[in-house]
Amino acid sequence: MFVLITKIKQGSVRLLIAKKGMSHRDFAKSIGISHSYLSQLVNGKRKPSPSTAGKIALGLNVDLSEIFLYKVVTKDNHREVKERSVEVR
């Protein structure tokens, strides 16, 4: 089983970064990613890896489900994709 991040919830990350009183550049640096990569994620140009999504959620002190839409992919007898909400704390 693995998690596939499908997209960022529009506006959620921008708003949460602003509430922290940080610039996008400072926030990106604080979680160990480049400003340009964060910008691409926030603008929907790229999809984050589960690791990067976790860094963003941890840096904003929120659950993944609050800022990302994602799928949990499981493999039984055939490939099956299920939408789920997963609590990550």
Domain membership flag for residue 65? yes
What gap in Å lies between CA 27 and CA 45, rounded to an integer?
A: 19
Domain membership flag for residue 46? yes
Task: Report angle CA 50, 51, 57 to the nearest 5 degrees.
Answer: 85
Tell me the three state secondary structure of residue 50: helix
Range of the domain at 7: 2-83
Model-level pTM greater than 0.85? no
Domain membership flag for residue 43? yes
Asked whether residue 34 carries a pLDDT value surpassing 60, the answer given is: yes
State how many domains the chain has.
1
pLDDT in tens, 57-85: 999 999 988 898 877 777 763 455 444 44
**Residues 58, 16 contacting (CB under 8 angstroms):** no
Asked whether residue 87 carries a pLDDT value surpassing 50, the answer given is: no
Domain membership flag for residue 89? no
pLDDT in tens, 48-57: 888 899 999 9
The sign of the dihedral angle between the CA atoms of 48, 20, 58, 63 is: negative
